[in-house]
Amino acid sequence: MANSLYQWLMVGIVAALHPFFVSVIELNHNAKDRSLETSVRIFTEDFETTLKKFGNTKVDLTKPADKAALDKLIASYINQKLSINVDGKTISLQYLGYEQKQESTWVYFETANIPSVKKVEVTCNLLYDFEDKQINIFTVKAKGTERNYKLDYPATKAEFDF
């Protein structure tokens, strides 16, 4: 019992000393609306640090001084770091906005006029400029099927077939 407690204590200490750098990107094909809905979840502190460096400006996601400028910065950063091809065509991510949920920031995009999805290819280096231990986890849903993939730094490409 004491040995088991010791092991769990050590795991906790190691986890605290080596934090996780993870973002979650979800792509959902909405067949009814003929659109691709994209959400990106990033730890707020990591995202603020990255955006400060990217935009060379002060960033506060919880209390922005200029919400319009911050929205533009967020859209620009993610569009530069995340590229999505659907059936061989690069799609345009239309920024909808962001919201705070606990320690995370959720950023939302939508792409109209996507009638069907057979293949999704992503190129992503989201937050690679922040941390070389960054992991981007993808969940892609289409045709009632869900595919998942973990993209570890420095890898930037993933493909999903439906």
Averaged pLDDT in 10-residue chunks for the chain of 162 residues: 51 52 96 98 96 96 96 98 98 97 95 97 96 95 97 97 97
Q: What is the pLDDT of residue 14?
A: 41
For the chain, domain boundaries:
20-161
pLDDT score of 5: 53
Q: What is the pLDDT of residue 107?
A: 98
DSSP 8-state secondary structure symbol assigned to residue 51:
H
Sequence length of the chain is 162
Query: Residue 34: what pLDDT?
Result: 98
Give the pLDDT of residue 20.
75
